[in-house]
Chain A
Amino acid sequence: MGDTELELSPSQLEELQKSPSASSTSTTSSLSLPSSPSSGPRAFTSSSPSASESLPASSPPLDVISEGVNELSLVIDTEVAKKACQEVLQKVKLLKGDGEMTPAAVEPTLVNGTAHTDPSERDSGGVGQPSKTNEDEPPPGTVKSARRRQKNNSSKQSWLLRLFESKLFDISMAISYLYNSKEPGVQAYIGNRLFSFRNEDVDFYLPQLLNMYIHMDEDVGDAIKPYVVHRCRQSINFSLQCAWLLGAYSSDMHISTQRHSRGTKLRKLILSDELKPASQRIRREVLQPPPPCPPPLHHGQGLSEHSLSPSKRTHQRSKSDATVSISLSSNLKRTASNPKVESSQDEDMSSSSDSLELEAGTPVRLTPQREFIKSLMGIGKRLATLPTKEQKTQRLISELSLLNHKLPARVWLPTAAFDHHVVRVPHTQAVVLNSKDKAPYLIYVEVLECENFETSSVPVRIPETRIRSTRSVENLPDCGITPDQRASSFSTVPNYDNDDEAWSVDDIGELQVELPEIHTNSCDNISQFSVDSITSQESKEPIFIAAGDIRRRLSEQLAHTPTTFKKDPEDPSAVALKEPWQEKVRRIREASPYGHLPNWRLLSVIVKCGDDLRQELLAFQVLKQLQAIWEQERVPLWIKPYKILVISSDSGMIEPVVNAVSIHQVKKQSQLSLLDYFLQEHGNYTTEAFLTAQRNFVQSCAGYCLICYLLQVKDRHNGNILLDSEGHIIHIDFGFILSSSPRNLGFETSAFKLTNEFVDVMGGQDGDMFNYYKMLMLQGLIAARKHMEKVIQIVEIMQQGSQLPCFHGSSTIRNLKERFHMSLTEEQLQVLVEQMVDGSMRSITTKLYDGFQYLTNGIM
């Protein structure tokens, strides 16, 4: 299947790639691509090893679209699909004579049966499901009739087919054809083809897919649905993401149509939790790690690790409790103080846990996570009612400490890049962010990384006081209680005998602070900083110390601590955000009862309640796309897209940018100009550190200037621009992009924000770095222009059915396209960049806007 065999010239490909709409419209009548989306799920859910082996292949053989009979075949006429597929296969064989096809085409027939053979193995939900799907689906007549038109094959069609089969056909193109093609056959083919892309690649376009599903015609919806349903069965996370996005993107519809829309129906279907893995057997199959898998982690390993860990000296919860805690909402009735359960826990933990989990886990597949998100949002809502930052912060801390009681549980942060379970929220670290009337807040979350959050067992709870001990339980070890007690009560004390050390350890001596004298048992009666001055404590000779040394050490100690911001009750987040991330991680890890576990990680998330994050998500996608383009074209522009999770049209979560504070906070706290702050933080002009920071600043500045220009990002005051510890700037808050601007006051008419302070950091207008900046902008614009379609596509699809302010008016997309200046030569582009930079620097409006912000919001 190498592209050499395709004999497509680059220019031809380019044509196909760049203007799918044009090519597809021209070939509408002559396309004969088969559609059988039904065969896709079969390949994944079947137990056939051969079929599942072929899954990860990046360019899969065509067996994916070959005949397949499974539950979804009720939806699409199998005969037609079969015929169509065979047609294609025939043609492909003729065209390429590729031998690979033959075995691939035979294979599926072996598999077909297995998916259906044993209905008894399915749970009730699985059995009921197909009929349900059927109700939702429109009659397959449209697909059939469309296909009847596909009789004659033109050369164009085969071009298209060859493109679809080529390695170059990526998800971006698939989405583009799906959106632009009016041909149901093409749509159905691509819907089917989605199965062959890597999950992560498709996930990026999930908002587009779902928006198309909601707002476009039935054919597109029919093409997308099997894939979505299939993925929902596979993953809880995907299910919830879909449900949230479907809800959010349906919200702009009229209330009457919304209720009956397909988006709402699919959302209900997902949330009803009927889209479970077809059966337990198959689910296990999926879990089975493929042969070339890294160290085979046994599922029970996480647990047994805990039980072996030396620090497990407190009374762990019993296994049954851990299972119960799957459900956040269920009232957790723990029998922790019942040692009988605990004693048996260690032996059969690993053996019984898996089966227990699977059985107990299924009925509440989505519930824990939904409850978790719900409680986070509830906190946000309640915080909004409090008047002062201080009260908000206190309330936040107390609410989170209550949330902690329900953790660990089978919940996770969807913004994270790895599978994990949330075990603890270090509640005292949470901060309320600066916002006038809403109450967004930032929390840190301790998680334990795991192989798969759906199947790995939930970590055992470790009490906060793990490292503690009590003072006087003089009577404990030798207490004897008469054996004739009722069964449910505490009956055997000896269980705790191995706990002895826990009762007798000296609290203070056990502190987890790395002190030089911690390993010696001698009383530490000297200052830890003067340790070396003392050689022998036993000697009777008096030891003398100089008062000056003490005083000096005190000032040195304070000088060595990194610059911190002062605590300000009105700006509680400044201090928390200024602390270096690594430092924070270390500090929280030390204080956490889970900190000793090797798979412990710290995550953070901003919870937004009352804000619509759909525009943020759009901006994230565009940034991510541009980042990829610039990387591909090797333009060293630096931007930092941060992950967005849309939960509804007025709530969501944001992945915070670590090690960064807003320029507003920098200026307010340091009372310095930006340049002086750079000098203070990184060193003098000539130092390596300063130069690196300056380069970072320039690269990020150029990147974000282009972003701001292309997306027309507005509301660019200093509270919305972050500065990270390496000198990069990061723009946040994409609430005003494309066609919308704040209050439409007409401020910020310049292309982007470039203040004199920024230019000063770059070394002034005549400096080399400033030229480098302009050069970067030019290169970036050229690169972006080359791949304009990939960017436009993201925005264009999301415009469908949207009432978002960024799509206000009719010319949003046209204007966006114009900003790429396809018609200009590179020389003309260079002039354009110069003009924009000059214009922005001279812009009075930028200054005016900052002044306006200062007056209205107190932002410097």
Chain B
Amino acid sequence: MMEAPSAYQDVMCSRVAIRKDDPAKTNPRFWDELFLMKVNLEYLEAKLTSLDGDEVVMIKENINSLFHHCVQALEEEHQIKVVNALQTLCALFRGVHQKNKSATGFDIINMLVGFDKADLRMKDLMESLDGLLCGDGSESLKSLCLKLLLCLVTVTDNISQNTILEYVMINSIFEAILQILSDVSSRGQHGYDAVVLLALLVNYRKYESVNPYIVKLSIVDDESTLDGMGMVVHQALTEYNRQYKDKEEEDHGGFFSTLTNMVGSMFIADAEEKLSVQTNEAILLALYEAVHLNRNFITVLAQSHPEIDMAATPVSTLPATPTTPLGTTPPSLDMLNNPELPLDPNLQTSNLLITFLKYSSIVMQDTKDEHRLNSARLCLIILTCIAEDQYADAFLHDDNMNFRVNLHRMPMRHRKKAAAKNIPSRPLVCAVLDLMVEFIVTHMMKEFPMDLYMRCVQIIHKLICYQKKCRVRLHYTWRELWSALINLLKFLLSNETTLLAKHNIFHLALQVVNLFNMFITYGDTFLPTPSSYDELYYEIVRMHQVFDNLYCMVLRVSTNVGQWKEPASKVTHALVNVRAIINHFNPKIESYAAVNHISQLSEDQVLEVVRSNYDTLTLKLQDGLDQFERYSEQPKETAFFKELVRSISLNVRKNVSLNTLSQDVLLKEFSSIS
């Protein structure tokens, strides 16, 4: 049968597609034979697309019939029929949609399935797919099912306009997805597709109606499933980090680059583009939905993965490159897939959170292009969710869980690249703070990413609130944070006019000043040592000019009439304690210098002055310093996520190429089975 010329099959398909009569009338075994033949997907899809509106309407009955028989064929024992039916369905979905871009969803359902039978047919289809995914059948078949689903989910640019998904909502395949994720071997092979599919399904009409996938995802509490999901995300992000590192090393030339060239040449899709590996928003979206929706997933973040586990899990989960997330495994990765991978003592134990932080540090380096900006934004949103979570905070601050996290730092002229080896093993929150500080100091540019800065400062604020509340005294070099924040204020001041044209800089300034107020008023509850409190004062006094200028600026704006009057005056009020400190200590320091005839006081001398003059300083207690607005996706982030899902849909659709579906390899497998 397999030798049948594909031309013959084309003809058959055309007959179905174009002729008005029922082909089965002339040949009773027509359908049986049809699905035994290799599908020419391009042809079918092109044919459907080439028809004009009227023609399509004319062959509606035939398409319905083809659809119907495809669904029926899924129940067949003959695997080739199932494969062909799946592929035909895929082509049908695509072809009909492409033809009817402007048509409403209902028309498309009518065209494909027929209104009267849609409920039943779609139910049968979903049940068959569910059965195939959960059954003990061939893995390639499962893979095809997932691809068909991905195909179905991404046929429209805007997922919420894809009315057919209503049937996927009613006939849930959620449990099938979970089953794939909970099983180690199936997770290895299909985990990536399953996670992406889930992330997309969750976003179907997210804000308009009740999406059962959201509900179900939010209550999953089975650890192995959640772990499986975490593992898939972890591996995808790890792979990205690795590619980036390879590329970085390659760029820096040397012996290593030749090596990676040989091994990893398939990763370098566009060698010209400097150090940019395409980001993978789909997987990040999945991570976001899991963290945001499922309270139990937070534990997975901290779930360490010893190397043995990584070795036990087939590495083939990893998409070859993020650009072809649904492609097959490149052969070279199979080397890593050796289950007897020896324990590498140099491999650090890692967990999803560490990998995510590393990933974020890479993504945040360059926010110029749209994808990366979106990725960075999503990273910060995920971090916001994490920082708000009590359990996550608990393990972030756990003194017994110390890790070395090598964050990527942008090479900058005025600083040396920190030696990776010197990073001490610290609680994870230090890495989060480092990442925030890193972002703050590296993004003071013309195209000022205001919303990212806001998120960044808010994350710091949330972490400090937790520390204050729980009296966690973190041994962190707060000084770096203080000076980064002061520099940020300085930047805002010097670019006041350009920035004000686009952003409300007073909101950000207020947040920053309030961070200082947290330290000033509540430092006793979370600072590690008394001397760190002294250092805070030292830093403020040392940089008093920035605060003075800020005060002048906000005072000026608040006295004028205008849209910034209100926000600026808030900043003036917030500055009261900082100004009190400056006004209190500056004269003291000057007189100390005068008395001791020193022109330039050393740090120790200033600290001495600070220490001996606390008692005469009175501060004002400000309200609501440790209050924060909790993250909420609606309504603020709605637009962002809609746009993000759209771009992910496009990307996924592009990559579920029909070529991957019609691989000869796949058919060969089944021809040998049959």
B630: nearest chain-A partner, CB-CB = A471
Residues in B neighbouring A486, C-beta threshold 8 A: 127
Interface residues of A in 524-574 (CB under 8 A from B): 524-529, 534, 537, 542-548, 550-551, 553-555, 557-558, 567, 569
Which of A167-175, A183-191, A217-225, A504-512 is found at the contact surface with chain B? Answer: A504-512
Report A467-499 CB contacts with B as 1/0, cut-off 8 Å: 111111111101111101110111001001000
Q: Are B469 and A511 in touch, CB under 8 angstroms?
A: yes
Given known pairs A390-B425, A471-B292, the reply for A489 and B175 (CB within 8 Å) is yes
- Which of B302, B348, B390 is A508 in contact with, Cβ under 8 Å? B390
Q: Is A429 an interface residue (CB 8 A)?
A: yes
CB–CB B391/A510 < 8 A? no
Q: Enumerate chain B residues within 8 angstroms of A490, measured Cβ to Cβ.
A: 172, 174-175, 212, 215-216, 219
Interface residues of B in 487-543 (CB under 8 A from A): 520-525, 527, 529-530, 533-534
Interface string of A296-313 (1 = CB under 8 A from B): 000000000000000000
Which B residues lie within 8 Å of A405 (CB)?
223-224, 227
Which chain B positions have C-beta within 8 A of A515?
469
With A529-B524, A558-B530, A591-B394 as contacts: A543 and B620 at CB distance below 8 Å: yes
Q: Are B626's CB and A524's CB within 8 A?
A: yes
Q: Choose among B214, B296, B302, B621 the residue that contacts A545 (Cβ–Cβ < 8 A).
A: B621
Do A429 and B400 contact each other (CB < 8 Å), given the known contacts A479-B212, A542-B621?
yes
**Of the candidates A386, A478, A489, A550, which one forms a contact with B174 in the assembled complex, judged by CB atoms under 8 Å apart?**
A489
* Structural contact, A468 and B305, CB atoms closer than 8 A: no
Cβ contact within 8 Å between A469 and B295: yes
In the complex, chain B residues whose CB is within 8 Å of the CB of A513: 469-471
A822 adjacent to chain B (CB < 8 Å): no
CB of B609 to closest CB in A, whole Å: 13
Is chain A's binding surface mostly helix, strand, loop or mixed?
Answer: loop
Q: Which of B325-374 contact A (CB under 8 A)?
A: 343, 345, 348-349, 351
Q: Is B170 interfacial (CB-CB < 8 Å)?
A: yes
What count of chain B residues pass the 8 Å CB interface test?
92
Q: Contact: B298 with A397, CB < 8 Å?
A: no
Chain A residues with Cβ below 8 Å from B389 are: 468, 507
B172 CB to closest chain A CB, in angstroms? 6
Which residues from A are CB-within-8-Å of B215?
473, 475-476, 479, 481, 490, 493
Q: How large is the interface on A (under 10, 10 to 19, 20 to 34, 35 or more residues)?
A: 35 or more
Chain A residues with CB below 8 A from B520, complex form: 547, 550
- Would you call B626 and A525 a contact (CB within 8 A)? yes
Q: Does A632 contact B (CB under 8 A)?
A: no
Q: Is A385 an interface residue (CB 8 A)?
A: yes
Q: Given A468-B295, A468-B391, do A545 and B343 touch, yes or no (CB 8 Å)?
A: no
Tell whether B32 is near chain A: CB-to-CB under 8 Å: no
Contact check: which of B210, B530, B616 meets A478 at CB < 8 Å? Answer: B210
Q: Which of A475, A484, A551 sits near B524, CB closer than 8 Å?
A: A551
Which listed residue, B224, B390, B399, touches A507 by the CB 8 Å rule?
Answer: B390
A544 touches B398 (CB 8 A): no
Contact A314 B306 (CB under 8 A): no
A398 at the interface (CB under 8 A from B): yes
* Chain B, residue nearest A379 (CB): B306
List A contacts of B469 (CB < 8 A): 508, 511, 513, 515
Query: Is B136 an interface residue, CB under 8 A from the partner?
Result: no
Please state if B221 and A525 are interface contacts (CB–CB under 8 Å): no
- Which of chain B's residues have a CB closer than 8 A to the CB of A496? 219
Whether A527 contacts B521 in the complex (CB less than 8 A), given A397-B401, A465-B296, A480-B210, comes out as yes
Instruction: Give A636-667 as 1s and 0s: 1 = Cβ < 8 Å from B's Cβ atoms.
Output: 00000000000000000000000000000000
Whether a CB of chain B sits under 8 angstroms from the CB of A346 is no
Are A554 and B305 in contact (CB-based, < 8 A)? Answer: no
A116, chain B: closest CB distance, angstroms: 48
Q: Please, how many angstroms separate the alpha-carbon atoms of A382 and B522 in the complex?
A: 45
Q: How far is the CA of A274 from the CA of B11 in the complex (A)?
A: 70
Stretch among B193-201, B442-450, B631-639 lining the A interface:
B631-639
Query: Is B24 in contact with chain A by the CB < 8 A criterion?
Result: no
> How far, in angstroms, from A463 to B394 measured CA to CA in the complex?
15
B51 at the interface (CB under 8 A from A): no
Taken together as a complex, chains A and B put the C-alpha atoms of A482 and B123 apart, in Å, by 13
Bound complex: CA A402 to CA B394 (Å)? 19
Q: Which residues of A contact B28 (CB under 8 A)?
A: none
Q: How far is the CB of B165 from chain A (nearest CB, A)?
A: 14
| Interface flag for A334 (CB, 8 Å) | yes
CB distance from A641 to the nearest CB of B (A): 30
What sequence of 0s and 1s flags, for each residue 405-435 of chain A, a beta carbon within 8 Å of any chain B beta carbon?
1000000000000000000000011000000
**CB–CB A470/B293 < 8 A:** yes
Residue-by-residue, is A589-600 near B (CB-CB < 8 Å gives 1, otherwise 0)? 001000000000
**Interface mask (B375-394 → A, CB under 8 Å = 1, otherwise 0):** 00000000001001111001
How far does the Cβ of B575 sit from chain A's closest Cβ, in whole Å?
15
Give the complex CA separation of A370 and B468 in angstroms: 45
In the assembly, what is the distance between CA of A553 and CA of B526, in Å?
Answer: 11
Does any Cβ of B come within 8 Å of A394's Cβ? yes
B14 within 8 A of A: no
A137 interfacial contact with B, CB 8 Å: no
- CA–CA, A472 and B399, complex, Å: 30
Asked whether, in the complex, the Cβ of B218 is within 8 Å of the Cβ of A398, the reply is no
Q: Are B212 and A463 in contact (CB under 8 A)?
A: no
User: Does B57 sit at the interface, judged by CB under 8 A?
Assistant: no
A391/B348 in contact, CB under 8 A: yes
Tell me if A824 is interfacial: C-beta within 8 Å of chain B: no
Q: What is the distance, in angstroms, from B549's C-beta to the closest C-beta of chain A?
A: 23
Q: Which one of B172, B402, B632 lies within 8 Å of A471 (CB-CB)?
A: B632
A523 touches B627 (CB 8 A): yes
Find out whether the CB atom of A382 lies under 8 angstroms from the CB atom of B343.
yes
Out of A336, A471, A544, name the residue touching B619 (CB < 8 Å): A544
User: Smallest CB-CB separation from B305: which chain A residue?
Assistant: A398
Nearest CB in chain B: distance from A402 CB, A: 8
**Interchain CB contact under 8 A, A465 and B299:** yes
> Is B210 within 8 A of A485, CB to CB?
no
Interface centre among A405, A472, A493, A511 (most CB of B within 10 A): A472
Which of B218, B294, B581, B627 has the most CB atoms of chain A within a 10 A radius of its CB?
Answer: B218
A337 interface hit (Cβ, 8 Å): yes
B345: contacting residue among A387, A527, A551, CB under 8 A: A387
- The reply to whether A385 and B345 contact each other, CB–CB distance below 8 Å, is yes
B253 at the interface (CB under 8 A from A): no
Interface check A201, CB cutoff 8 A: no
Q: Which residues of the partner chain A approach B212 to less than 8 Å between Cβ atoms?
A: 479, 481, 490
B523 touches A550 (CB 8 A): yes
The reply to whether B343 and A546 form a contact with Cβ atoms under 8 Å apart is no
Query: Chain A residue with minimal CB distance to B618?
Result: A544
Nearest CB in chain B to that of A331: its residue? B224
Partner of A527, one of B308, B388, B403, B524: B524
Q: Are B623 and A525 in contact (CB under 8 A)?
A: yes
Whether the pair A508, B466 counts as a contact (CB closer than 8 A) is yes
In this assembly, does B624 line the interface, its C-beta being within 8 Å of a C-beta of chain A? yes
Task: Verify if B655 is at the interface (C-beta below 8 Å from A).
Answer: no
A401 to B388, CA, bound (A): 23
| Sample of 27 A–B contacts (CB below 8 Å) | A315-B219, A337-B220, A390-B402, A390-B425, A397-B401, A398-B304, A428-B398, A463-B221, A465-B299, A471-B631, A473-B218, A473-B293, A474-B634, A475-B211, A475-B215, A479-B210, A490-B215, A496-B219, A508-B465, A525-B622, A525-B623, A527-B522, A544-B619, A545-B521, A545-B621, A548-B616, A567-B399
New contact pairs (12) apart from A475-B210, A490-B219, CB-CB < 8 Å: A385-B345, A428-B395, A471-B630, A479-B215, A490-B172, A542-B621, A545-B521, A550-B523, A550-B619, A551-B534, A551-B614, A576-B400
B residues engaging A (CB < 8 A)? 127, 170-172, 174-175, 178, 210-212, 214-216, 218-224, 227, 292-296, 298-299, 302-306, 308-309, 343, 345, 348-349, 351, 385, 388-391, 394-395, 398-403, 425, 465-466, 468-471, 473, 520-525, 527, 529-530, 533-534, 581, 614-627, 630-634
- 8 nearest interchain CB pairs? A398-B304, A548-B614, A548-B615, A554-B524, A507-B390, A547-B617, A543-B621, A428-B400
